[in-house]
Structure 1
Amino acid sequence: MTKVKTRPLVVKRIGNGLALHDEQTGELLQGQTSVVLESHSGMPPKVTVTFDAWGAHGVRFEDEPRLEQ
């Protein structure tokens, strides 16, 4: 069985927007197109991140080659 490694993430304010970063390195996660923070009364906040699929900076399957642009 493959051991799953996880890393803590952090939401940073960038100008008037938000972006998801690796907490340990401070690096921006590539391919983000939208970060939305929602907070409803009595519920924990929820962060929704949208990533580009495919392309040079998008998300890809591990066994697929990265497409260079």
Structure 2
Amino acid sequence: MAKVQVVLDAELVVEVMVLAGISNPQDAVEAVVRDYIARGHRTEMRTGEVSGRLREVDGEPRIQEG
């Protein structure tokens, strides 16, 4: 798996570590990102938003009014 390096504010990472109860900063941030992705997938499954977005992409370009 490819790895990326991200620079984050230390206070933000410490807050994540405290809330997640994880002592390793890398693991704490990874857990939050994985949870965010999983939550998005659950929401998509419940609402059916994925298929709706795909239909919009395949449709013709919309003319902006205004």
Higher strand proportion = 1
TM-score, length-scaled by structure 1: 0.27
Give the structure, 1 or 2, with the largest relative contact order (CA under 8 Å, sep 6 or more): 1
Question: Would you tell me which structure has more helix in proportion to its own residues?
Answer: 2
Q: TM-score by structure 2 length?
A: 0.27
Higher-Rg structure is 2
